[in-house]
Each structure stands twice: as structure tokens, then as C-alpha cells.
Structure 1
Amino acid sequence: MGEGVDDGVGDGKARRMPRAVRERQMLDAAVVTFGRRGYRAASMDEIAELAGVSKPLVYLYLNSKEDLFTACIRREAQALVTAVRSGVDPDLTADGQLWSGLRAFFTHTAEHPDAWSVLHHQARTHGEPFAREVSQMREEIVAFVTALIHEAAQEAHGATELAERDVAGLAQALVGAAESLAGWANASDSVTAKEAAATLMNFAWAGLGNLMRGERWSPRHQPAH
């Protein structure tokens, strides 16, 4: 279609805009609409209106409502993963890396609440293929957190003494807690991203510290009734 495209608004003289810019406008409008209205309630008409284009142009660029929603999930998932990865300074100590990663996660989800609603609520409740897209993002974040926990154990002992299964379970638990806490923080008017990160850091690091010192929790013997 060339460098410029008709914006789809019949104002007498068609304005032209680069395709990438127009697509970003449509995706921005779609994320807001899906995040606030939900996938099923959102209409292509209101997305087109918010983007300032005609509905046929949205279909021309993104084919269908399902394709548009999938494109939103992919874009926002990649943005979140990039924010977390870029937020971690590899020169920091293990706890510093985990702390900076958590802050980056909660800062991004707080600054993009509609995107987080799309990823955490809408995509997961409407089945395949949407849930699969979010699952891929989650696996990437879990793998990243797993590496951080491995590094923390190595920093504490000089060798990774935590079993692979322990590390995998801890990473899953930490990411799950972060997801829940982000929803809670976004629903609150008083919880900042820094406070949410500190809450999870205090909860997680105490347990990780004990494990790295070889201090495992075990249930006390309960007398038979």
C-alpha cells in the first residue's frame, strides 16, 4: 500500500499516514476498549471511532476482531517482558536484580492498566488462542525469574544447591504472586508500584534467604486425634 495510507475518514481530502503509525493508533484504541469493556462487549465500531478511522479500515489492516485482540495481546506481552528485562541491572547483587525486576514489572502494569487488564483478565477468560499467547509470555517471565533465583543461590553458596524442582516452583510462585498483586495494586488508589514491589520482595526474599542458608520449613508433627 506504499508509505502512506488513507486514514479512512472522508474529510474531502484524504490525509496520508505511514501504515505502522496507523496500526499503532488502532492497537492503542483497541487495548483501551478491550481493557475497559472486555473482549465480548467491545465493538469494532467504538475501536474505530476511538482510533479516528473508519471501521472498514480496521478490518483492512487487522482482518477481524479476533486477529485484532491477538495483536493487542502479542504487543502488550512483548512490552511487559521487555520492561522487566530492561529494568534489571546485571551488575547488581541477586537481591538487587530481583528488586529491580519487580519494580519494573509493577511500574509497567501500573502505567498500562488497560494492557494489564487485557493480559491478565480478558485474554485468560476467552480460551484459545488468546490464553496460549499469554501463557507464552508468562513462560518467558518465569524462565527469567528462574535464572535470577539460580543466580541468587549461586551468590549465596558459590554453587547452585537448590534443587531444580525447588527453583522452578519458587519462580512459578513468585510470578503468580506478582500477577495477583498487580491486579490488587491497580484496583487501589493508594498502593504505588514501589510499595507493591516492596511487599512482594519482603514476602519472597525472607523465604529465599532461609532456603539459601539451608533452613527449610517442615510441618511439625501433629498428634493423632
Structure 2
Amino acid sequence: MPRAVREQQMLDAAVRIFGQRGFRAASMDEIAELAGVSKPLVYLYLHSKDDLFTACIRREAAALVEAVRNGVEAAAGESADRQLWSGLRAFFTHTAERPDGWAVLHSQARTQGEPFAAEVAAMREEVLAYVTALIAEAAREAHGDPSLPAREVAGLAQALVGAAESLAGWANTDTSVSAREAAATLMNFAWAGLGSLMEGRRWAAHVPG
């Protein structure tokens, strides 16, 4: 079997074990057994448990970013809200279909310290930049110019991405929640508010004095 194919089998097994058991509890013996290879072969190809975990993070992060980009691009030429809707559906579909991969990214890598957390942070920054551009484009569509301040756009992107991450974690614990329902929930929560901003309506706290 070609090395690249064998490595993917090892990564498939590792993502499943890391996602279900956690980085600390997972063993190379378990991963090798699930992959159908010897433990020395896992070490030969992927060197160490840390290196294997890093490879899993990078593969799952790249797959998630690609899924979101493909979702948005599938709605190219449509309005910004339709592009966001398509991207969110792609995100929730991906995380539902690959729950172990999402657990590796969202639960495991972030809690294991450096350098694992840095790998996830890099992926998140890429997604944030993409979502920020979508929101900025929505502002241009609404007003014909980028009327929202850059800082506000960045804050909205942070809020939207954070909400999506939290909602995916919840949806993956309840099999009755479909990817479409999760995306609709976030659109109802976030886009209605964004739509108000695009129309110049803002909520303002009224503080005495």
C-alpha cells in the first residue's frame, strides 16, 4: 500500500481515538491496532504521539476550512446572507459528519497547551478573516460603502465564529439536531441582528447619568 494511503489510515484511527478518549488517555497501541498496522510503523511514519496529534490537528483544520470555503463559494454571486447561510450549513454538516475531528479541534487541542493550541488558533484566525470579509461585504451591499467601522466588523466576526463553535459542540451531543437546524438557529440569532446594523439600527444601553 502506498505510504500516503497508509498514513491516512493511521490519521483516521488517531483522530477517532484522540477524539473519543482524549490526548492523554489515548495510546499508540490503540491507534496502531485500529489502523491495522504495527506500533513501530506508526512511529516510523509519524515519529511520536505529539507529532501524530499535530498531524491530526492540521488535517482536520484544513478539512474544516476547505468545507466552509466550498460552502460559501457554492453561493458565489448571491447575496452575502445567502453566502453566509451556505457556509454555515457546510460548517455544521462537516462537524456533524466528523465529530471526532471536531472534538480534536474544539475540545482536545485547545486544552493541551502549546504547540497544539497554536495550531487551532491559526485555523481560527483564517476562518475569522474569511467571516470578517463576508460581513464587510454585507455592509457594502447594504449601503454601497463599508459603513461599519473595521473594529465593529471584527467584533461581529468574533461573535459569530464563537457562537458557531459553541453551537456545533451542543449539536454534536444531540443527534436530533440537523446541520440545517443548527445553521438556521445561528442565522436567526445572528443575521437578524446584523441586518439591523446594516440598516443603521443599533441597540443602545441607556445608563442613567
Same fold (TM over 0.5): yes
Aligned partner of 2:12 in structure 1 is: 28
Aligned residues: 207
1:131-142 alignment to 2 at 5 Å?
Answer: 131-142=117-128
Find out whether 1:172 has 2:158 as its counterpart: yes
1:29 CA drift (Å): 0.2
1:33-91: CA deviation from partner (whole Å, max 9, x where unpaired): 00000000000000000000000000000000000000000000000000000111221
CA apart distance, 1:221:
3.2
- What is the CA RMSD across the aligned residues, in angstroms? 0.8
2:105 to 105, 115, 119: 119
Q: Distance in 1 between matches of 2:44 and 2:130?
A: 37
Q: Secondary structure at the match of 1:187?
A: coil
1:46-85 paired onto structure 2 within 5 Å: 46-85=30-69
CA distance in 2, matches of 1:176, 1:209: 19
Identity %, equivalent residues: 76
Cα distance in structure 1, aligned partners of 2:65 and 2:52: 20
Distance 1:222 1:24 in 2: 61
How far apart, CA to CA, are the structure 2 residues paired with 1:21 and 1:98? 34
The equivalent position to 1:42 in structure 2, one of 20, 26, 31, is 26
> What do residues 138-169 of structure 1 show as CA deviations (whole Å, max 9, x unaligned)?
00000000010011000000101000000000
- 1:194-218 CA-to-partner distances (Å, cap 9, x unmatched) read 0000000011111111111111111
Please give the alpha-carbon distance, in whole angstroms, between the structure 1 residues aligned to 2:179 and 2:98: 12
Partner of 1:94: 80
Distance 1:222 1:40 in 2: 52
Q: Structure 1 counterpart of 2:178, which letter?
A: T
SS in 1 for 2:146: coil
> Which of the pair has the greater relative contact order for Cα pairs under 8 Å at 6+ separation?
2
Q: Letter of the 2:158 partner, please give it.
A: Q
Task: In structure 2, give the amino acid aligned to 1:18.
Answer: P
TM-score, normalised via structure 2 length: 0.98
Structure 2 unaligned segments of length 5 or more: list them.
Answer: none
Instruction: Measure the CA separation in 2 of the matches of 1:146 and 1:106.
Output: 19
Matched, 1:186 2:172: yes
* Runs of 5+ consecutive residues of structure 1 not aligned to the other structure: 1-16
- TM-score norm. by structure 1 comes to 0.91
Could you tell me which amino acid in structure 2 is paired with residue 79 of structure 1? A
